[in-house]
Amino acid sequence: MNTESRPEISTDIGRETPESNILSTARFVALSAAVIGAIGSVWLMLSIGSRAPLFLIILFIGWTLLPFAALAVANFISIRWSRLTRTMLYIITLVVALGSLALYADVVFRPPESTPASRWLIVPAASWLLMALAGAIALLISRRRSR
C-alpha cells in the first residue's frame, strides 16, 4: 500500500476572479478603442485630405495607423505581463485612441488655422512618445515592486 503523499493539483486554475474579469473587460475596451481610433483617424484624415496625391495619402495612412497597430499588438501579447503593466497599457490605449480622435476631429470640424496635415504628423509622434514614457514608468514600478 502506497502511503506517499501525492502533490495536490490546484483546481482553481482557470477560475476567473473579479480582478481578472475587470482586466478582461479593460482589455476588450482597450482593443475596441484601438480599432475605433484607427478607423476614425483614417476616416477623418481622408475626409480632409482626399485631394492629396495617392502616394502621400498612403504614407499618411501608414503613419496614422502605426501607433494603433503597436497598441493592438501589445494588447495581444500582454496576457503574461504584470497587472500593473497591463493596466497601464489599457489606459494608454484609451488615451491615445480618444486623444487622437479628438485632435483630428478638431482639425476637420473647425476652420484650419494652419496646415491641417501637421496634426497628422505630430499626433502619431506624440503617441509614440506617450507610449514609451508609460512603458518606462510601468517597467520601473514593476521592478521596484519585485525587489
- Whether this model's pTM surpasses 0.75: yes
Count CA atoms within 13 Å of residue 85 on its CB side: 20
Residue 51 has a pLDDT of 81
Position 65 pLDDT exceeds 70: yes
Percent of the chain with pLDDT over 90: 44
Domain boundaries, the chain: 32-146
The stretch 4-24 carries a mean pLDDT of 61
Say how far apart CA 73 and CA 31 lie, in whole Å.
9
84: which residues sit within 8 A by CB, 6+ positions away?
138, 141, 142, 145
